[in-house]
Amino acid sequence: MSAINSVHRGLLIFSIAVCCCSQNSVANASEKGVTRFATFNVSMNRGSSGELLAELQAGESEQIKKVAAGIRIVRPDVILLNEFHYCGDQAATAIAAFQEHFLAAKELFDTKPITYKYHFVASVNTGLPSGLDLDDNGKTTDPGDAYGFGRYPGQYGMVVLSRFPISADARTFQTFLWKDMPRAMLPQKGNSGDKLESYYSSAILDEFRLSSKNHWDLTIETPAREVHFLVSHPTPPVFDGPEDKNGTRNHDEIRFWADYISGDKSQYIYDDKGRRGGLANSQSFVIAGDMNADPVDGDTTDAAILQLLNHRRIRDPLAVSDGAVEASKLQGKINSLHQGKPKFDTADFSDRSPGNLRIDYVLPSRDLHIVSAGVFWPRKDQPAAALLDASDHRLVWLDIKSK
């Protein structure tokens, strides 16, 4: 029986026995040197600053309970949470409240508690004022004028939770300028005679950051070896005009990692401490996040995600689920016109457009052995399907070990 089928079979009933079975499966895998990495866009951004922290401390949110229950069922060793509001000076307090009142809660949909000893969190560009008129509407204080779209600083933040130590030598790339990427796909206004005109002025490009949130390189000290967890959340390639400013940015946010793991192509990259370069060919990694890019369908610019899926150092685990196949068939509409196979979908969007897509990824370096992979998307007849309305994304997981 494959590992993905084991997870789905285990979800046929919600009971302590099932959760213990899932826990034992992970424990047995850990004894063999297997580490489970995961990514999950948890949709825990809120309309105003301070709202999420209050919900976490109260411990009553049904949405957050469902998010936590999914994590408790899959039980990753290391997990990236996208859209977990960055709470500034209270970020550690928010993470502690999430762990205490939700992940480690004694009673939660008959799932077994889970704890993470280590975490990493840092500032993001979403909602951070740039002081520039980035959306060209004559104002400088709109959500679209922030370095990354957001109504307040940190609205669409990120958190990494880990059972294993995270090296203190983390690298962040919040301030890396888009224009400093060689041959960057900067948006253009269109033809001005025979010459393309830049959508952004030189004054804006001197300040415009590539990352809409942040890019992090975290070294996870797994029992077998160090693994670089490369995480990000590129902007959606929509909500723009013919200049395709979001589509081009999405492409280059993804390209950042493709260059970072490519040796001599990474020399232009600098982190927030001024250190240059990317990973050496000998270093193991897992790239994870909501990339907002499907390899076939949706509004992705120039097959953006193929920069990773086709990269010589990456092996695509091709995580699947039965629930995604069922959802595509039942929901129909634009899903019936998609070219990609629905079993790979990781997000459930409007059935008019864009439909269900594969946009969440956990991609290992080729020197790591893929044991199993999956998407937490139970079928409608499985009780765990009641958890899925917590987010329009699904938790994606990967089991790896050193070769």
As a whole-number percent, the residues of the chain with pLDDT over 70 amount to 90
φ, ψ of residue 309 to 5 degrees: the values are: -60, -30
Quick one: pLDDT band at residue 303, thresholds 50, 70, 90? Answer: confident
Domains of the chain, with CATH numbers?
3-402 (3.60.10.10)
The number of beta carbons lying within 10 Å of the beta carbon of residue 350 is: 12
Give pTM, 2 decimals. 0.92
SS3 for 159? strand
The answer to whether residues 127 and 143 touch, using CB atoms and an 8 Å cutoff, is yes
| Spatial distance between the Cα atoms of 91 and 88, rounded to a whole number of angstroms | 5
| Spatial distance between the Cα atoms of 124 and 85, rounded to a whole number of angstroms | 10
Q: Residue 195 is encoded by which pair of tokens? A: 């010459």
Query: Mind listing the pLDDT tens digit for each residue in 218-264?
Result: 999 999 999 999 999 999 999 899 999 999 999 999 999 999 999 99
The number of beta carbons lying within 10 Å of the beta carbon of residue 367 is: 16
Q: Where are the alpha helices (DSSP H) in 213-321?
A: 245-260, 306-309
For 208-247, letters b (16+ CB in 10 Å) and e give: bbbbbbbbbbbbbebeeeebbbbbbbbbbbeebeebbbbb
Query: Mind listing the pLDDT tens digit for each residue in 330-344?
Result: 999 999 999 999 999
Partners of 375 in beta bridges: 396
Question: Which one is predicted more confidently, 335 or 11?
Answer: 335
